[in-house]
Structure 1
């Protein structure tokens, strides 16, 4: 009979290297947000995008006006004719990992990002996946959005309405609005007083 001494077993402990600071919850968030290309091919970009938003606690509005806030109430997968019109990412966990889901959503007009701690400059840059269709964007009470992030929206050339307020990490909101206004001449840029959160 051979005996094994636990002390003789060597443990390999993997310590994070410099610059590796992702927490367990960031990995979970990444997995819930990460696009599945096979799923997008199977169900189409609009349904896959709706699944992403709903899976992370957001809400969607279809082009026919129906609103949905529960992942379990998604219509059957066979209904590929449904088109996404609006995304409400308020109080949700959608993050920059998932914004490529916007690609291919041909009728998407509006995105509201309100009170979402996962929205940061990378997520705002990710809005460019919807640059050909988005006409209304709201970014408010997102603590991780900064001045350079807001300025990334300069590529959203079809914007007609941009609502920005309660962004504590933005140092100079007036300057950001001026920058965006000069690059987006068709866009009306509003603050909290002039808008009503959807």
Structure 2
């Protein structure tokens, strides 16, 4: 008896998926595009509207001064007179914001609360950028940094410039090694600051 095997023609073969690294590179490139700063757009619509568009494009939420509702739908951003809606709070949980987009924060004069949770692109340079932004040094009152694995001692130490910060939450940040030193430095730089640490050893 002769047994023959039917071979699947090559054009019907199951396509191979690209390697994971290539997929990561694609998403990294796309997220970098989302974070591109359009300075002409900032001039045309104002810093708060331009920053809102950036944040929602990257998957974050914003809340405006005088409002309780969070805005998360890019197409549902409110319209009205230029400069009417001022960003008071940002929730960047699981968003793709990265340092190259942080120039959007320069013109925000009413931002009091910022939450960075599970943001894979948040790193020390982002925290340093926040700390050096004049408007945020004056306005920022509450900052939460949770499960951002690229944050280290260096980035957290830079927060000592946020002289009006009232509350700082640091949780699940394996890159932080010098907890006691950081606590001492921040408390000395910003005496009224309440710090809550929940760091894994």
What residue is the counterpart of 1:51 in the other structure?
A: 53
Aligned pair count reads 172
Q: Does 2:81 align with 1:75?
A: no
Question: 1:139 touches 1:163 (CA, 8 Å); kept in 2?
Answer: yes
Provide the secondary structure at the position in 2 that maps to 1:190.
Answer: strand
Q: Equivalent residues in 2 for 1:9-158 (5 A)? A: 23-65=25-67, 66-76=69-79, 78-128=81-131, 129=133, 130-158=136-164
What residue is the counterpart of 2:17 in the other structure?
A: none
**Higher Rg:** 2
5+ residue gaps, structure 2, are 1-23
- Pick one of 174, 177, 183 that aligns with 1:177: 183
Question: 1:43 touches 1:77 (CA, 8 Å); kept in 2?
Answer: no
Q: Distance in 1 between matches of 2:98 and 2:70?
A: 21
Question: 2:168 touches 2:195 (CA, 8 Å); kept in 1?
Answer: yes
Decide whether aligned partners of structure 1 residues 77 and 39 sit closer, same or farther in structure 2, where only a CA change above 3 A counts: farther
Q: Distance in 2 between matches of 1:28 and 1:181?
A: 39
Q: What TM-score do you get using the length of structure 1 for normalisation?
A: 0.80
Q: Distance in 2 between matches of 1:52 and 1:181?
A: 33
Structure holding more helix per residue:
2
Q: Does 2:168 align with 1:162?
A: yes
5+ residue gaps, structure 1, are 1-21, 194-198
Q: Distance in 2 between matches of 1:121 and 1:180?
A: 16
Question: 1:137 touches 1:161 (CA, 8 Å); kept in 2?
Answer: yes
Cα distance, 1:185 vs structure 2 = 1.2
Q: Distance in 1 between matches of 2:51 and 2:117?
A: 18
Cα distance, 1:179 vs structure 2 = 1.6
What residue is the counterpart of 1:19 in the other structure?
A: none
Question: 1:61 touches 1:68 (CA, 8 Å); kept in 2?
Answer: yes
Provide the secondary structure at the position in 2 that maps to 1:93.
Answer: coil
RMSD: 1.9
Q: Distance in 1 between matches of 2:193 and 2:101?
A: 26
Q: Distance in 2 between matches of 1:132 and 1:30?
A: 29
